[in-house]
């Protein structure tokens, strides 16, 4: 079986280093590159065509949200997993609107990050527990559109 190729995009050298070590510990993953800016992430994604990108939101130059949008416009087959410190609703929903396939906080357990890579690679969407709870609370407070169980004809 081929390894899952991963590109890391984060402006913090120490965090990129930690992710390199984590990815190197999983024999089914292959780190193909890392980017320190949004522009570099877009360029490397186009050149390397990884299976999965771990993307931070707060990047120098263009943001991780804009980089995600640009990457997916030209390479929709790449699975984008946001890995960031931002847990506010605006960041989460902006990432989802940009096409991200998942959203984890940087404090996620190593096993959770590895599992999330496999989940998005499999075509599913993944949220870290804190983000999933926020999203559920947001939707629970929305006003219903119509009667429950009704269908429009």
Confidence (pLDDT) at 114: 96
CA distance 119 to 126: 7
Confidence (pLDDT) at 93: 87
Question: Would you list the domain boundaries of the chain?
Answer: 4-140
CA distance 84 to 81: 10
Residue 85 main-chain phi, psi, to 5 deg: -90, -15
147, with CB counted inside 10 A (0-12, 13-18, 19+), is exposed
pLDDT 10s digits, 109-127:
899 999 999 999 999 888 8
Its CATH class, for the domain covering 4-140, is: alpha beta
CA distance 14 to 19: 9
Confidence (pLDDT) at 90: 87
Q: Look at residue 148 and tell me whether its pLDDT is greater than 70.
A: no
């Amino acid at each position: 079986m081929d390894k899952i190729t991963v590109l890391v995009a984060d402006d913090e050298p120490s965090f990129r280093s930690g992710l390199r070590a984590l990815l190197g510990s999983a024999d089914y993953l292959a780190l193909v590159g890392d980017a320190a800016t949004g522009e570099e992430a877009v360029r490397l994604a186009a050149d390397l065509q990884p299976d999965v990108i771990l993307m931070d939101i707060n990047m120098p130059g263009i943001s991780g949200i804009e980089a995600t949008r640009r990457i997916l416009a030209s390479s929709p087959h790449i699975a984008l997993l946001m890995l960031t410190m931002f847990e506010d609703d605006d960041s989460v929903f902006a990432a989802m609107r940009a096409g991200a396939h998942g959203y984890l906080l940087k404090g996620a357990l190593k096993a959770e990050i590895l599992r999330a890579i496999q989940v998005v690679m499999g075509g599913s969407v993944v949220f870290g527990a804190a983000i999933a709870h926020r999203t559920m609370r947001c939707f629970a407070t929305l006003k219903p559109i119509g009667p429950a169980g009704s269908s429009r004809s």
